Amino acid sequence: MRPPEFWNHREGRDAAPFIRALLSPLSWIYGWAAARRIKTTQSFDAGIPVICVGNATMGGTGKTPVVIYLLKSLRRLDIGAVGLTRGYGGQEKGPIPVQKTHSAEQVGDEPLLLARHAPVWVAAGRDEGARAARSYGAEVIVMDDGHQNPQLEKTLSLLVVDAEIGFGNGCVFPAGPLREKLPAALERADAIILMKPAPDFQIDECLAAQLKGQIVISAYLAPNNPPPKGKLYAFAGIGRPNKFFDSLRRHGGDIVEEIPYADHYKYKDEDIESLFLLASEYEASLITTEKDYVRLPKGYRKGVHTWPVSVHFEDELTLRRLLHPIINRSRVK
């Protein structure tokens, strides 16, 4: 699904007030159902710390790099941190550990990326996944997404927010991008990871007001390497493909054309054949994200560049302070 443009506008014609009004009853039902599920579900205590990295909106905000950072940081301290995800877009319901032989079609793209850095479990039921992970020695669970999922009791809830679009028009899905009413989402968050497109980005006054009173840790995604030299034909099927394209340009990438796909798009042979043909017309190389790369048919991956990024925190000390009780608890064995 590609987010409709009116989700990002609060006023004027671009905000599509008529469409938003038509969708408002559905938004009320969706929001009511989410609130009721959270209120009435008895959360499972896994017996070990659970860190949830979630968001309040539909679409990508940069959660996966944050999860990778946490997994790597904890495991460097010799703490058995394990990733947990529902494996969006995959066929497996689990709980199962992600193996090197798995494909994105089986377990989803995000679990494959996480599994490069730590053991990862895929489970449609987060409580079942946590139980399985602990039985195999997990000491800390880092859950990718799940802020609105009450199945598992959380020790620390980090809410990742895209600094460019914030919470959009402030409406609940489908009238807007919110998964639940904003005050409820913020109330359950221990801290906000504010993901900026660049270190010098200035956030909107409205977003600053919405986050007032919260612990806010600013962060940004930075490339691990410069973009490949030469002409680049870019494509991406993530929550906000333009973030990838804009970042490539900002770091010197010579993009001759760009093609956005729907989030978690499952590429077919004919898609990649067409992309290679279009790129050849410009004498350009294909480039995409790591998430997209693992969804490409294996026979077509050769010749497609990826551009890995990592998260950088402007106030890493505050994040470390939040993690300190979990680290101490895990060291007492």
Q: What is the pLDDT of residues 112-137, one digit of tens each?
A: 999 999 999 999 999 999 999 999 99
Per the omega criterion (within 30 degrees of 0), is the bond before 49 cis?
A: no
| Domain ranges across the chain | 50-222+311-331, 225-307
Tens-digit pLDDT string for the chain (333 aa): 677 888 888 888 887 888 989 999 999 999 999 999 999 999 999 999 999 999 999 877 889 999 999 999 999 999 999 999 988 888 888 799 999 899 888 998 999 999 999 999 999 999 999 999 999 999 999 999 989 999 999 999 999 999 999 999 999 999 999 999 999 999 999 999 999 998 999 999 999 999 999 999 999 999 999 999 999 999 999 888 988 999 999 999 999 999 999 888 999 999 999 999 999 999 999 999 999 999 998 888 988 999 999 999 999 999 999 999 999 887 665
CATH code for residues 50-222+311-331: 3.40.50.300
* The pLDDT value given to residue 333: 59
